[in-house]
Amino acid sequence: MAKYITKRVIYMFLSLFLIASFTFVLMKLLPGSPLASASKLSVEQREVVYEKYGLNDPIPVQYVRYMGNLAKGDFGVSFQYKNADVTTLIVKKLKYSAILGAQALIFGTLIGIILGMIAALKQNTVWDYGSTIIAILGISIPSFVFAVLLQYVFAVWLEVLPVGLWEGWKSSILPSIALAMGPIAIAARFIRTEMIEVLSSDYILLAKAKGANWFEIAFKHAFRNALIPLITVLGPVAAGLLTGSLVVEQIFAIPGIGQQFVKSISSNDFAVIMGTTMFFSVFLIVIILIVDILYGVIDPRIRLSGGSK
Amino acid sequence: MYNINVPMFSDNLEGVIDLKNHKFMWLISIMLVLSVFLAACGDKKDDAGTTEPVKDKEEDKGTTEEPAKEVAQVLNLIETAEIPSIDSSISEDAVSFIVLNNVMEGLYRLDQDSLPVPAMADGEPEISEDGLTYTFKIRDAEWSNGTPVTAHDFVYAWQRAVDPATGSPYGPYLMAGMVKNATEIGEGKAEIADLGITAKDDKTLVVQLERPVSYFLSLMSFGTFLPLNEEFVTAQGDKYASNAEAMIYNGPFSLSDWDGTGNWKYLKNDKYWDADTVKLDEIVVDVVLETATGVKLYEQGKKDRVVLSAEYAMQFAEDPDVVNELEMSVFYFKMNQMRDGKATPLANADIRKAIAKGYNKEELADAVLANGSIAANYLVPQEFTFDEDGKDFRDYSSEFSAYNVEEAQALWTKGLEALGTDKVTLEILGGDTENAKKQQEWFKSELERNLPGLTISLKEVPFAVRLELDDTSDYDIQSAGWGADFQDPISFMELFVTGSPQNKMNYSNPAYDKLIESTKTTYAKDPIKRFEVFAEAEKILLEDDAAIAPNYQRGRMALMNPAVKGLVTHPFGGDYSYKWTYME
């Protein structure tokens, strides 16, 4: 296990290196200048500013220096927020996005699992169709439509939750639910399909024959096996939440990272673009690693360390 | 066993399902009801339903008149962008200048009528005969940390702003050619200490100019010229102004709860010299990007003001809470006469004039923009600059290239003949926002309909890309705009002189250049004559040459709580002053 994780961590750094290099190249290809009012600066002044940020050096020199700083965990300073340290900037904003993302993922998966199980256990009944409808709605309606809908119902109409802004945990409820619709739908579909398949397999019949009670059959035998494919898709689902949160945060006026990322691209804020990309990459890679480790926990048949003797 | 177990199984779960199911059924029904509601009722009914209750509450407040009821002096505002930098040497955007205008104070401040009045300056300055030397007395005032505001604070701030190493976007730009030696410092031919600003003593500030500048005092309220306490700024180093604590304030409010990003608050600054005038105790500002969300917050009474985007402006046009404000920004077409070293069809004056007259600006302002903007047949905005008697500059000048299809078509035919063709394709370069795209589509259809043989291709790009294409003159027609930096027609008129960094459309008319130059030299001290010369130059630019085609002056429509009184808007610099604002 330890060996496996070490190997994965090495791969992780390799991926990050490639992502950073690729992002660097793309950034340099972006048209425009990072200076917001470049037209107001004289040529001499522009030179001074470029010099200050090291933008005058040849691209390879910039690349080496940038990667060096990155290795030290220094993302540099923002152009958009004059002289603001990018790491601090991202960490501050990431807090809100992380809360929303985590809540949506946990809530969404749990509800999805419940819906999926209900649908599977009560196959071809009204419960099944109901949960299927919810799943289809969840997957086909984008999260920002739900966001506006929830905002209208609970904040404007019923006035039980805030319309927007960050006023503590209460403010996170609606955006989290809006974001959770995707995970709910995906989890419900996967669990339903898998459960139905597993429930009709021989070992379930065996378990029943053995006299195992319904609880054991549903949870110990069927559910655990049905979880594997769901866990596989959790990584991409988490990634989807990151992009979804961008619009949802805007609708609920949550000061998260999403908007920041978009703005940094349109204003050529190199340091913030790179910083956010790296944070997102690390996040995704770690999630994927966790998912792979979870496989082993859920299904002992999957051996992570590999290498049979 | 099997048969027994299964029902048990379902029975047990059914309880759970029932419970869950109620919620889900409820949710689904709400969704269905809502989708019908939203689709069928349209927006207007919605609004009536939601705004009225709020209004009723407000009216109640007004009429019940509880005896001596104290209204909390807290103003709740929305901004649509965060603060990029409130280091006054570096600030360059609208939000930062609004904040600076309310937490800092320069030699002058714009009053309720947007006229410059002495602020840190103790009374009017002494101005030398030749108009080149200003001697200011500095008022007894303190920074929020208790240190006195002195003449040295101004010297330090100005020197810092002009220093090329600071990278100030406005410092050298505003000071060059105005403050003595600023141009030379930029070229490295003079020391920073040679800048024409000196502190005779703690209370006396002397400013030396290169030429008489009639709008100099109004410029003194601008962010770049605000004082900075050297001791504090150098002690903070790179961290200066990176959060609310890393700054000291000498204005009506101090900043609070700001960690460099996100939302912020203003608290009344008790150390402010005129603190008695300031009535608000606190201003809460939240960044809300979606107008829809802003409107909902306003309707719930959580926010006292929300600026409306075009679609909401149309919807709320009749609302009693609506306030209309005219901005000092004018939008126009830049018509490029030379692209890739070749003359474009726009090098022909008749073609340019035909285009300038070829679309209905009223329709653009009223139907396409519909946000309080007005059609502009001019470059220098309305309600922007005034002579000593308060007469608007627009009364000195007149209207140019107004919409006229017959004239446009006659000019167009003439132009095409001169070019020896009957078909012309032109590209319009513009922004990629929803609003910009809508305008560009409209321009295309309107121009193609009115000018036969014209094909318009649209190129819609992000702002940074547009600036780059502008820089290399890589466009035919560009939809561009300019906002005033200071209160003088020259803020706009200077943009199109030969070689100006804003020209970039290969327009050059020595007669125009000469007139603009004369406003800085010959007529610098004759305000009336200056205005007349600007009017003459405007006629050359817009009518004789049709170098640019003005489109509209931007307006702003907002919903504002009627209980908010004395919120002052300014035509340039920081857009709002809260110094005189109070809640009724």
Return the top range by mean pLDDT from A132-141, A193-202, B194-203. Answer: B194-203
pLDDT band at A222; cut points 50, 70, 90: confident
CA A294 to chain centre: 17
Nearest by CB: A253 against B17, B164, B287: B287
Interface test with B, best of A28, A29, A35, A39 (most B CBs within 10 A): A39
Q: Are A254 and A175 in contact (CB under 8 A)?
A: yes
User: Judged by CB atoms within 8 Å, which residues 30-89 of A form the interface with B?
Assistant: 30-33, 35-42, 44-45, 48-49, 52, 80-84, 88-89
Average pLDDT over all residues of chain A: 82
Query: CA nearest A244: which of A185, A157, A294?
Result: A185
CA gyration radius, chain B = 28
First-last CA distance in chain A:
15
C-alpha–C-alpha distance, residues B121 and B119, integer Å = 5
Mean pLDDT in residue range B490-502: 89
Q: Are A124 and A196 in contact (CB under 8 A)?
A: no
Q: How many A-B residue pairs are in contact by the CB < 8 A criterion?
A: 171
Stronger pLDDT, B314 or A31, i.e. the higher one: B314
- Is the pLDDT at A51 greater than 80, yes or no? no
Which distant-in-sequence residues (6+ apart) come within 8 Å of A274 by Cβ?
A: A20, A23, A24, A27, A66, A70, A75, A76, A86
Nearest by CB: A164 against B170, B260, B293: B293
C-beta atoms of A45 and B462 within 8 A:
no
CA B330 to chain centre: 10
Q: Are B443 and B431 in contact (CB under 8 A)?
A: no
Encode burial over B552-578: b for 16+ CB neighbours within 10 A, e otherwise: bbbbbbbbbbeebeebbbbbbbbbbbb
- Is the minimum CB–CB distance between B471 and chain A shorter than 8 Å? yes
SS (H, E, C) B417-469: HHHCCCCEEEEEEECCCHHHHHHHHHHHHHHHHHCCCEEEEEEECCHHHHHHH
Average pLDDT over all residues of chain B: 85
- Is the minimum CB–CB distance between B31 and chain A shorter than 8 Å? yes
DSSP string, B482-495: EE-SSSSTHHHHGG
Query: CA nearest B374: which of B362, B384, B385?
Result: B362
User: Judged by CB atoms within 8 Å, which residues 478-507 of B form the interface with A?
Assistant: 501-502
The pLDDT tens digits for A296-306 are 777 777 765 55
C-alpha–C-alpha distance, residues A151 and A174, integer Å = 7
C-alpha–C-alpha distance, residues B367 and B241, integer Å = 43
Considering only A15-24, A189-198, A225-234, B63-72, which range has the smallest mean pLDDT? B63-72
- Is the minimum CB–CB distance between B582 and chain A shorter than 8 Å? no
The tokens 């949960």 sit on which residue?
A: A131
- DSSP state, B221? T
C-alpha–C-alpha distance, residues B519 and B489, integer Å = 10
Cβ atoms within 10 A of the Cβ of A160, count? 11
C-beta atoms of A134 and B24 within 8 A:
yes
Of all residues in chain A, the one with the smallest CA distance to B88 is: A82
DSSP string, A22-56: HHHHHHHHS-S-S-TTGGGS-HHHHHHHHHHTT-S
Amino acid of residue B410: A
CA A183 to chain centre: 11
- DSSP state, A72? T
Whether the complex's predicted ipTM surpasses the cut of 0.90 = no
Q: Beta strands B424-430 and B477-483: pairing type?
A: parallel
The percentage of chain A sitting over the pLDDT mark of 90, rounded to a whole number, equals 7
C-alpha–C-alpha distance, residues B539 and B529, integer Å = 15
- Is the pLDDT at B566 greater than 70, yes or no? yes
Residue A306 confidence (pLDDT): 53
C-alpha–C-alpha distance, residues B371 and B308, integer Å = 8
User: Judged by CB atoms within 8 Å, which residues 251-290 of A form the interface with B?
Assistant: 251-253, 255, 259-260, 266-268
SS (H, E, C) A179-196: HHHHHHHHHHHHHHHHHH
Residue A270 confidence (pLDDT): 81
- Is the pLDDT at A239 greater than 80, yes or no? no
The percentage of chain B sitting over the pLDDT mark of 70, rounded to a whole number, equals 88
Dmax (CA) of chain A = 86
Nearest by CB: B262 against A134, A213, A255: A255
Encode burial over B88-107: b for 16+ CB neighbours within 10 A, e otherwise: bbbbbbbbbbbbbbbbbbbb
Amino acid of residue A275: G
Residue A257 confidence (pLDDT): 83
Of all residues in chain A, the one with the smallest CA distance to B258 is: A92
C-beta atoms of A266 and B25 within 8 A:
no
Q: What sign for the dihedral angle of Cα A92, A94, A97, A99?
A: negative
- Is the pLDDT at B89 greater than 60, yes or no? yes
- Is the minimum CB–CB distance between A191 and chain B shorter than 8 Å? no
B contacts of A136 (beta carbons < 8 Å): none
Dmax (CA) of chain B = 111
The pLDDT tens digits for B528-559 are 999 999 999 999 999 999 999 999 999 989 99
Q: What sign for the dihedral angle of Cα B394, B399, B401, B402?
A: positive
C-alpha–C-alpha distance, residues B215 and B386, integer Å = 11
Helix (H, G, I), strand (E, B) or coil at A85: strand
Amino acid of residue B363: E
Question: What tokens were used for B492?
Answer: 């706009």
Nearest by CB: A82 against B85, B290, B464: B85
C-alpha–C-alpha distance, residues B563 and B29, integer Å = 39
Q: Are B232 and A52 in contact (CB under 8 A)?
A: no
C-alpha–C-alpha distance, residues B369 and B373, integer Å = 7
Cβ atoms within 10 A of the Cβ of B293, count? 25
- Is the pLDDT at B79 greater than 80, yes or no? yes
Nearest by CB: B297 against A41, A93, A163: A163
pTM of full prediction above 0.95:
no
- Report the C-alpha dihedral over residues A290, A291, A294, A299, rounded to 10 degrees: -160
Residue B37 confidence (pLDDT): 41
C-alpha–C-alpha distance, residues A115 and B40, integer Å = 32
Beta-strand runs (E) in B246-287? 253-256, 264-268, 282-287
Residue B407 confidence (pLDDT): 94
pLDDT band at B160; cut points 50, 70, 90: very high
C-beta atoms of A149 and B263 within 8 A:
no
